[in-house]
Structure 1
Amino acid sequence: MKTPMTVLIAGRNAHELEELERMLADEPGMSFHKRLISNGHSDPLHNITELPDALVFCTTVAWEEELNSLDQRPAQERVPTMITGPENTTIMRAAMQVGARDYFTFPVHKQELMAALRRVARQLQPAGKQAGDLFAVINAKGGSGASTLAGALAHSLVEKIEDRVALLDMDLQFGHLASAFDLKESGGLIDAILRADNMDLLALEGHMVKHKSGLHLLGHGTDQLVVHGDIDERQLQKLMTLLRSGYDHTVVDLPRQIDGVTGGVLESADRVLLVMQQTIAHVQDARRLLHYLNHYMGIPADRICVVVNRWNKRLALSTADIQKALGVADLTCIPNDYAKVAESANMGVPLLEAAPSSLVSRSLVQMAETLSGKKVVQPSGFGRMWQKLAGA
């Protein structure tokens, strides 16, 4: 895939093209070009020697002719296409029949169109991808343990997989992830977002606090009151792009709300970890949040992982019950060991360090293996000897 991804906005309606161009301007990771069709041809790609990575095609009253021009193109000369047009099921069906990835009616919702374009960007990413993974962790119901799991997962990816990992605390008012690592609260997140245009990785690291394991944490730990409406969503996306360019994995702990800020992170994420517990109330909230993610944000089910925290097999609500209620094929269960988790948090010592052999730690290491696609790095003989000498 080209970097940035090139997107052609084409059609015969100059007003619609200008509106889309204005709406999508300055989106990070993508380069938009406009083409007003006025040469008698219906094909938006006619005589273009270097095809774009994606096409946004605005149809008109001549939609049959326009869609037919797409259908007549050889397979090797087609590109992933999003169609805009009137709210008409006949036109929508015809668009899908000629291979459109998605169909939008005017006025187009920016969030929905960008979600579709980001899906194309992920599909165009080569196998040896250059960008790191983005994992978004969010509670289905308040207090489910998303922050604890986000911190422990990020630490496991560093300690056991030996990858380079960034951890973002996106709870702008009550974030406390730094305390889980006995670190001074970082106040660098807002400044990093504001400076994302002119920041490189070295400057970004200066905004972060570092744990001895090698984990880098970025949060907002000051007394300054900040709400999500104060954050420029485009700047945040640029920061995410920078993080993914410098880290193997970026783990984001999100507050339990859906807005432009959290929505942008969720749509960009390679995996969304939806954290719940083993009660009917949690199931009800998880089902609602899954509906929002699937139907309103266009996040496919294969990118969402439901995590049942504090799992206890003795409780009446079984995994089968939860799977049936949520309509999901798989669950990830993290066993209940409240005492060890609470002790780890109170001491400011990561769970993997405080209780490495606990079932909770083992489950999180297994999750790290699954998400990274890598196996735990076994210490060398010298490493094991050093650990013994050090009393580990």
Structure 2
Amino acid sequence: MTQQTLTVFLAGRSELSLKKLQLELQGIPHAVIESLWIPAVEVDPLGYLTTRPDIVVLELGVDPDAELANLGKTPLHLRPVIFLIGPPDNTVLMRKALQAGVRDYFVRPADANEVAAALRRVVKEKLESGSRYGQLNVFMNAKGGSGATLIASNVAHIMSAELGIATALFDFDFQFGSVGLNFDLHATHTTAGVISDIDEVDLVALEAYMSKHRSGLSVLTHSSQEISLPGEIPEAKVKRLIELSRRLFDQIVVDIPRLFDPVLARVIDEADRFVLVMQQSVAHVRDTKRLLQILRNDMNVPDQRLLVVVNRYSERSSMSLAELKQTLRFNHVYALPNDYQNVAQSTNIGQPLLEFAANAEITRGLISLAELLTGRQRRPAKNLIQRLFPFLD
């Protein structure tokens, strides 16, 4: 349901400037403006909030870099819209703020008219689009054949079928995408085709364009007759597809190839969680380490948004999970057990593992991974009475 009133917190260390700005911003339609004084020693502004507002206008304190780092720890889908007021002539800080997902940056002392205009735009957008803002989960192989497509497909299916979440699955491998094979689905509208027409697509049309699996999962994949070359997919249209999808679904899972180009860089930049899939070998460790370096240092993706998944993990391997974490210098590592037979058979017949082998160890691992990404637990199994009389739920 569309919100009728949005809460705006003005947060900072100076009570005087907060009260002054609050008075100047009163009267914005559909917005309740409140001020929140934050102690000077507090460097985690969002952590200090006891309630979650819709919008925060934060005046940075004496340690803006630390505050900005703490803002990046909270996934985008769990954050309010954030505007920052900070020091002038600090272009590095401004750039980091925008890369961290901050909506806008105002130079101190902020012009109340500029802040008011920005708030009106956001309030209008939120009232028109509703409160849904789906989480974007991006999966990529650290090395070819690691299993990212299979894991992304099954995690998306579990989110929909087991966790009861409105979920979409996008195949962004525009040349060799194979997501549809995991569901025995044949594309009626392809990913590239929808992106091409996205300027004329609204929420109703987007939902209609997507292939539907019996679980309720919505899928955009490719035709075997279609191939898109690098440079043919406009970055701006991909951004528009993501924006629409966030308003239509609570979870969006995107499978991308191991490639860095402007389009995929945009997808990575938009991601709330980026999942890098590897296996237990020296070659996989080398490539994973290199990719983590690129993501952290060159693309400024914070560790809180990164997750490494070790596929086909075996405790009998010479590389333990603890040793992998130490070698990668990265602690957010999740292991999926090796179950070649069930995985191969389910893929060959186009049936997700939750349907093909619901009690297998690999399926339980994938359910736990879906729970980790969404923060939602699986629905409890129904008892006999509930199954016989579903209207009693």
TM-score (norm 2): 0.68
SS at match of 2:175: coil
After TM superposition, the structure 1 = structure 2 runs for residues 135-284 of structure 1, keeping only pairs within 5 Å, are 135-284=137-286
Question: Residues of 1 paired with 2:386 and 2:210: CA distance?
Answer: 31
- Output one character per residue of 1:25-60: Cα deviation in whole Å (capped at 9) or x when no partner: xxxxxxxxxxxxxxxxxxxxx9x9569xxxxxxxxx
- The answer for the alignment partner of 2:53 in structure 1 is none
Give 5+ residue unaligned stretches, structure 1: 1-45, 52-74, 84-97, 106-111, 388-392
Deviation of 1:371 (Å)? 1.1
Deviation of 1:228 (Å)? 3.1
Is residue 118–residue 268 contact of structure 1 (8 Å, CA) maintained in 2?
no
Is residue 180–residue 222 contact of structure 2 (8 Å, CA) maintained in 1?
no
Deviation of 1:130 (Å)? 2.8
Is residue 132–residue 250 contact of structure 1 (8 Å, CA) maintained in 2?
yes
Deviation of 1:118 (Å)? 5.1
After TM superposition, the structure 1 = structure 2 runs for residues 229-378 of structure 1, keeping only pairs within 5 Å, are 229-378=231-380
Question: Residues of 1 paired with 2:169 and 2:103: CA distance?
Answer: 23
- Output one character per residue of 1:360-391: Cα deviation in whole Å (capped at 9) or x when no partner: 1001101111111111112433586469xxxx
Structure 1 moving runs of 4+ over 4 Å: 48-51, 98-102, 112-115
Is residue 138–residue 256 contact of structure 2 (8 Å, CA) maintained in 1?
yes
**Compared with structure 1, are the counterparts of its residues 114 and 164 closer, same or farther at alpha carbon in structure 2 (3 Å cutoff)?**
farther
SS at match of 2:132: coil
Name the aligned partner's letter for residue 239 of structure 1: L
SS at match of 2:358: coil
**Is 1:120–2:73 an aligned residue pair?**
no
SS at match of 1:353: helix
Is residue 173–residue 227 contact of structure 1 (8 Å, CA) maintained in 2?
yes
Name the aligned partner's letter for residue 187 of structure 2: E
- The answer for the alignment partner of 2:59 in structure 1 is 78
Name the aligned partner's letter for residue 139 of structure 2: V
RMSD: 3.6
Give 5+ residue unaligned stretches, structure 2: 1-20, 27-55, 65-85, 105-118, 124-129
Question: Residues of 1 paired with 2:277 and 2:208: CA distance?
Answer: 31
Deviation of 1:186 (Å)? 4.6
Is residue 139–residue 274 contact of structure 2 (8 Å, CA) maintained in 1?
yes
Deviation of 1:329 (Å)? 1.6
- Output one character per residue of 1:89-121: Cα deviation in whole Å (capped at 9) or x when no partner: xxxxxxxxx66897449xxxxxx9598345224
Question: Residues of 1 paired with 2:57 and 2:342: CA distance?
Answer: 57
Question: Residues of 1 paired with 2:143 and 2:91: CA distance?
Answer: 33
% identity of equivalent residues:
36
TM-score (norm 1): 0.69
SS at match of 2:297: helix
